[in-house]
Structure 1
């Protein structure tokens, strides 16, 4: 009876996978780790040619539409290049707690640095590179839309560190979550995911607001209204400064000042249109690239191509080809694991 009960409890456990280099030959350890982490990042050795061994461990758990990892790993360099972003197709947000270690590097042109106890936010669809000592971490991965629906625009969060009281609260929760997940019943997976998202949203909302609200409160209300109008008219050929000024009842000068922290209204509209097209290229294999561009206000093929390449480092055709290749290479019943789970987050 006791054995039967234990087996039943195990059957109801949340999906989990475990990796460690401990049982591998020293010369194979880093290559094995690189294969695992390549689901997200490119990594490089920092210990020099004489450093054969590499200690790393990662336990991954899937709870509803979240993936949580509990890991420790040796010193190394991480990077997300346009090529890697294209290869993985990840449109995810990563929130990582450094229980020990830290990081120093660049997030899409902005210098970033953190230490033990810090929380780091990464947009896995944007370039980054860091150098990190041996670190012990808890990370949560979620689809961009899942977080965006709860806290609004995520502009400015890539590379951000949370060091305030709310960041400390979230760090405490992630430590507790990492301890509880190995014993969490599968029946409680959805509830745990919902609770985790609520806590993350509550703790990140002030940070996102601080980044967004560099303007006065009234300006922010107008800015949010402007963003709503833009989102609803991304396919309209009439979406321009004149249209927005008329819809908002403000002057052109006020409009430009409103979007100045976001690199200007033209650039903001351009980024949103390109983002919509990029998503469509990965999910709709039957619609022509030129048609998508025209539907989103691009009247010149060359202008669209240059803008897309400048934004993402790859061409629209390369994004479409990479997406088709991933779909073609998928196995009917892939083995569960970190890479598979992260890809599943992409597709709901």
Structure 2
């Protein structure tokens, strides 16, 4: 890949995160803290293990991010506290070029081999173990993918096998895109992004039952999700009120949210996630726990506390106490600062209006 000084001024932004210039004893802790923008990671170190190494190069394609990552074997997790804390509403498409990963992706269990292409929904839990690896990851907002794939959450952990026609074609497309990504202009990246999301929708959506997930239903589901997010504090937000407001039957409403665990469960999950976010934000420190519970639609503090502990494995007060504990690493004192722009890109990634 070309150096930054060789790139034409209109080419897409590239962030290169490389720990190779840092002392070996500092690398893992820096990686663990940085990659927590997406995953919690753990590593088992055996006697005689090689020094930790990780490299992550990210191309910002405007509406999506494409990254190549290489590192040593480790565990990758997204559990309820992290999902609630970061609020990422993205999906990722990933293909391993070297190495494998095995794990639990929501209700699915599988081992992903080199060349398999798989889809992950970052609003759902995952617990995986990767060998030493090199992979390509495409990250895109759920709203963008949902326009072409209906309800992406249904496909959390779904793979396209490396020896299938769709898996081979999509995997090759991602690899070719990576080869040319550093030379793309912003306009070219925008056009390719539109084409790529169509391909993903076609390849992962093939064989779906139209009566089960029609395009109009997918569009209504996204509208409903936005409406719920905007009205979480309203105690009148119920399946009945939503059905009346959107003039749909309760049975149809329930069928739309069935992939998400049901409409009632979905509303409560979103309220709890919002509460977790507020509890861990410095700006919310003056608010009592009961006030935050009320702000997100709970009218009984005891019920809120029980539900919160069940969802996140900790009390609201414990969540508040860890909210300010994340200490950001800075590169002061190092001769070779680390490019960590990808972290901001992940947090700020939003779907464009195509």
Deviation at 1:272, TM superposition (A): 5.1
Q: Larger RCO: Structure 1 or Structure 2 (Cα < 8 Å, ≥ 6 residues apart)? A: 2
- Partners of 2:201 and 2:27 lie apart in 1 by 36
Aligned to 1:101: 99
- Partners of 2:202 and 2:168 lie apart in 1 by 14
Aligned to 1:73: 71
Aligned to 2:193: 196
- Partners of 1:299 and 1:237 lie apart in 2 by 8
Q: Secondary structure at the match of 2:193?
A: helix
Deviation at 1:77, TM superposition (A): 1.7
Larger mean CA deviation between 300-309 and 232-241 belongs to 232-241
Alignment of 1:213-252 (within 5 A): 213=209, 216-217=211-212, 232=227, 235=231, 240=238
Aligned to 1:342: 346
Q: TM-score, normalised by structure 2?
A: 0.70
8 Å contact kept, 1:223–1:259: no
Larger mean CA deviation between 279-288 and 158-167 belongs to 279-288
1:232-291 CA-to-partner distances (Å, cap 9, x unmatched) read 4674655545557777675x7787677655534432443455567777889995797867
Larger mean CA deviation between 162-171 and 102-111 belongs to 162-171
Q: TM-score, normalised by structure 1?
A: 0.71
1:157-184 CA-to-partner distances (Å, cap 9, x unmatched) read 3322233544433211110111112233
Larger mean CA deviation between 101-110 and 275-284 belongs to 275-284
Output the aligned Cα RMSD: 4.6
8 Å contact kept, 2:118–2:160: yes
1:124 partnered with 2:143: no
Structure 1 gaps of 5+ residues are 1-5
8 Å contact kept, 2:149–2:204: no
8 Å contact kept, 1:170–1:199: no
Aligned to 1:176: 176
Higher helix share: 1
Larger mean CA deviation between 49-58 and 132-141 belongs to 49-58
Alignment of 1:1-348 (within 5 A): 9-24=7-22, 26-46=24-44, 48-85=46-83, 88-163=86-161, 165-184=165-184, 188-204=185-201, 207=204, 213=209, 216-217=211-212, 232=227, 235=231, 240=238, 262-271=260-269, 274=272, 298-313=298-313, 337-345=341-349
- Partners of 1:32 and 1:20 lie apart in 2 by 11
How many pairs align? 335
